[in-house]
Amino acid sequence: MPSFADQAASELYRQSEREAIVEALATTRVVFLLGARQVGKSTLARQIAKEEHSATVVDFDDPTPRNAALDDPVGFVAGLERPAFIDEVQRGGSDLVPAIKSVVDRDQSAGQFLLTGSANRSAAPACSIP
C-alpha cells in the first residue's frame, strides 16, 4: 500500500503535469498526451476539458463518433466545435490526424485540440504528423 508521503508526492506530480498541459494549451494549437494505458490520461484530460479549458469531448472508444470519423475524417473534424478533446485518437483512422493538421494550418489559434492516445506500436503510425 502506498504511504501517505508517496500519495502526496504522486498528487504533486499530477498537479504539475496538469499545469504543464494547461500551459501548453495556452500557446499551442494541438496538444497530444501520449502514454501507456491506465496511467490516468483520460481522467486528467476530461478534468482539464471541464475545468481549465472548456472543450467538446469525443471518445473514440464509443463506436458512433469513431465510425463517423472513419467514414469522413475531414467532415468529422470540420463539424467539431473547438476546443475539442478527442480521447483514443489513434482509433480514428490514419486520415484523422492529417484532417486535424489541415484545420490548424488554416486557423493558428492556440488550444484547439487536446488529443490522447495509447503508446502502442499499432497506434504510432496512425498518429504521426507527416
Ligand X SMILES: Nc1ncnc2c1ncn2[C@@H]1O[C@H](COP(=O)(O)OP(=O)(O)O)[C@@H](O)[C@H]1O
Q: Looking at this protein, which amino acid is placed at residue 33?
A: L
Q: Looking at this protein, which amino acid is placed at residue 53?
A: H
Cell 469525443, located at residue:
58
The values of phi and psi at residue 2, to 5°, are -65, 145
Cell 464509443, located at residue:
62
Q: Is 90 in the site for Mg ion (CB under 5 A)?
A: no
Question: Whole-number minimum distance, CB 42 to Mg ion, in Å?
Answer: 3
Q: Is 112 in the site for Mg ion (CB under 5 A)?
A: no
Using a 10 angstrom Cβ sphere, with 0-12 exposed, 13-18 middle and 19 or more buried, the burial of residue 109 is exposed
The residues that touch ligand X, with contacts defined as CB under 6 A, are 14, 37-43
**Closer to ligand X at the Cβ: 25 or 103?**
25
Question: Whole-number minimum distance, CB 58 to Mg ion, in Å?
Answer: 13
**Closer to ligand X at the Cβ: 112 or 116?**
116
**Closer to ligand X at the Cβ: 87 or 96?**
87
**Closer to Mg ion at the Cβ: 51 or 61?**
61
Q: Is 42 in the site for Mg ion (CB under 5 A)?
A: yes
> Which range of residues in 2-10, 38-46, 65-73, 107-115 is near Mg ion by CB under 5 A?
38-46
Q: How many other CB atoms are found less than 10 A from the CB of residue 104? A: 17
The candidate with the shortest Cα–Cα distance to 76, out of 59, 55, 110, 100, is 100
Question: Whole-number minimum distance, CB 35 to ligand X, in Å?
Answer: 6
